[in-house]
């Protein structure tokens, strides 16, 4: 395996803050790109302060404190602190933009024009630049000027209307999935644009909106409405189109059962000692099980109560029926499969070490550069100026 990442040699100027943009640029850094994170001179990225918990950059009592939130989405980057109202700082940013292969920003629509960092101006001096704008509502439309945060987007984009227990209050997902998925769409689009640029030499402008992404993420729920006029409602852990596909309570703990076809259902019934359910014509097909779920699920639940979770998981695993434990975060961090896949590593910020998640991307020929931690504020100013502007 070579130590050079797939994006080795690609320069990314990251003007984004919070999560969606930083998640995209972190993915590019993992893939080998040189990501320069521009931050406000006073305080840096907001997420540096979104704690506790915090990590102290050193044992010095005046050391910078960095929130775990920031560490989660800024590994592998170099930090440069600037003030756009300072003429020298702004000139430096403009010079860096002229040298960049990729620029990511999440300012409000038109917010970079007064700094001469908008796409029309930059593409005129750097025609091969790939410029990615991430906003709440996109560059066009009646709400383009509005700010957008993940929780509000989950609400407006329909996700909260289908999340939670039946009859309960609207609930957001436990992590900022609209931001995270927008970041992944951004990284995917940027990589595609880099491929096209290698062929044509042309740059690209990418316009990503959190609301657009959230609507796209509705996936089968959206198509259930567009095709069948079915308006989804919260069903807890249950699935609108597949049954049985939900959490069941064993005698001691919950488990998630994910039966995806009729063969798996028959095996499941055999393990439960309920062959009669598999032979019942109401339940022999998935369509029938969806229609009659109110009769099937209670019958199955009464049987799950008879044995502890480990019994069921061992039996299902041996039979090839998909099922798994409902784990807490600490249990996930100790999961033997994740440990075997080396999904956790040790790194540091300043001279303080901490554990971090690693990239889920596994490549055979090119190393993933996910061992570096997040930077302290303005840590790499001299290096960046030397590396980017010396030629």
Q: How confident is the model at residue 64, as a pLDDT?
A: 86
**Tokens 């630049």 -> residue:** 129
Q: How confident is the model at residue 391, as a pLDDT?
A: 74
Q: Mark whether 307 and 348 lie in a shared domain.
A: no
Torsion, CA 268, CA 271, CA 274, CA 279, rounded to 10: 50
Residues constituting the chain: 391
Residue 137 lies in domain: 11-217+338-389
Q: What value does the mean pLDDT take over residues 26-30?
A: 98
Residues with a known catalytic role = 179
* 129, 101 contact by CB (below 8 A): yes
Residue 309, token pair as written in the block: 């979770």
Reported as a single tens digit per residue, the pLDDT across 181-218 is 999 999 999 999 999 999 999 999 999 999 999 999 99
Reported as a single tens digit per residue, the pLDDT across 86-119 is 999 999 999 999 999 999 999 999 999 999 999 9
Predicted TM-score (pTM) of the model is 0.94
Residue 344 placed within a domain: yes
CATH number at residue 315: 3.30.1540.10
Q: Mark whether 281 and 359 lie in a shared domain.
A: no
Q: How confident is the model at residue 61, as a pLDDT?
A: 57
Q: Please tell me the total count of domains within the chain.
A: 2
User: Model confidence at 62, in pLDDT bands (50, 70, 90)?
Assistant: low
Please check the confidence at residue 133 and state whether its pLDDT lies above 60. Answer: yes
Q: Mark whether 195 and 300 lie in a shared domain.
A: no
The Cα–Cα gap between 147 and 143 comes to 9
279, 294, 325 — which closes off a domain? 325
Q: How confident is the model at residue 233, as a pLDDT?
A: 94
Least Cα distance to 22 among 143, 232, 182 occurs for 182
Q: Mark whether 209 and 347 lie in a shared domain.
A: yes
Residue 338, token pair as written in the block: 């994740």
């Amino acid at each position: 395996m070579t130590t050079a990442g797939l994006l080795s040699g690609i320069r990314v100027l990251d003007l984004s803050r919070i999560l969606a943009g930083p998640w995209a640029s972190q993915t590019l850094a993992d893939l080998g790109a040189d990501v320069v994170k521009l931050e406000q001179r006073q305080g840096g990225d907001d997420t540096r302060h979104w704690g506790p918990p915090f990590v102290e950059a050193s044992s010095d009592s005046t050391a910078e404190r960095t929130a775990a939130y920031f560490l989660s989405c800024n590994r592998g980057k170099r930090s440069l602190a600037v003030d756009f109202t300072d003429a020298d700082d702004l000139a430096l940013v403009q010079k860096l933009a002229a040298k960049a292969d990729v620029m990511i920003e999440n300012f409000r629509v038109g917010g970079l024009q007064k700094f001469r960092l908008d796409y029309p101006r930059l593409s005129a001096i750097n025609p091969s630049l790939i410029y990615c704008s991430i906003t709440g509502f996109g560059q066009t439309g009646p709400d383009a000027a509005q700010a957008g945060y993940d929780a509000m987007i989950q609400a407006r984009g329909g996700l909260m209307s289908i999340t939670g227990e039946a009859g309960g209050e609207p609930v957001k997902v436990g992590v900022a999935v609209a931001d995270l998925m927008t970041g992944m769409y951004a990284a995917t689009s940027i990589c595609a644009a880099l491929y096209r640029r290698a062929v044509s030499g042309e740059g690209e402008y990418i316009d990503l909106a959190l609301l657009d992404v959230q609507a796209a993420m509705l996936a089968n729920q959206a198509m259930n409405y567009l095709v069948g006029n079915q308006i989804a409602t919260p069903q807890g852990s249950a699935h609108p189109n597949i049954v049985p596909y939900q959490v069941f309570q064993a005698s001691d703990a919950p488990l998630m059962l994910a039966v995806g076809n009729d063969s798996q259902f028959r095996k499941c019934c055999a393990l439960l000692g309920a062959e009669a359910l598999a032979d019942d014509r109401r339940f022999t097909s998935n369509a029938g099980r969806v229609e009659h779920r109110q009769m099937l699920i209670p019958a199955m639940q009464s049987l799950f109560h008879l044995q502890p979770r480990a019994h069921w998981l061992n039996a299902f695993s041996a039979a090839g029926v998909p099922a798994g434990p409902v784990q807490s975060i600490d249990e996930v961090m100790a999961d033997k499969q994740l440990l075997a896949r080396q999904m956790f590593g040790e790194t540091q910020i300043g001279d303080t070490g901490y554990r971090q998640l690693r990239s889920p991307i596994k490549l055979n020929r090119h190393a993933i550069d996910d061992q570096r931690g997040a930077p302290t504020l303005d840590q790499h100013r001299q290096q960046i100026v030397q590396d980017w502007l010396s030629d």
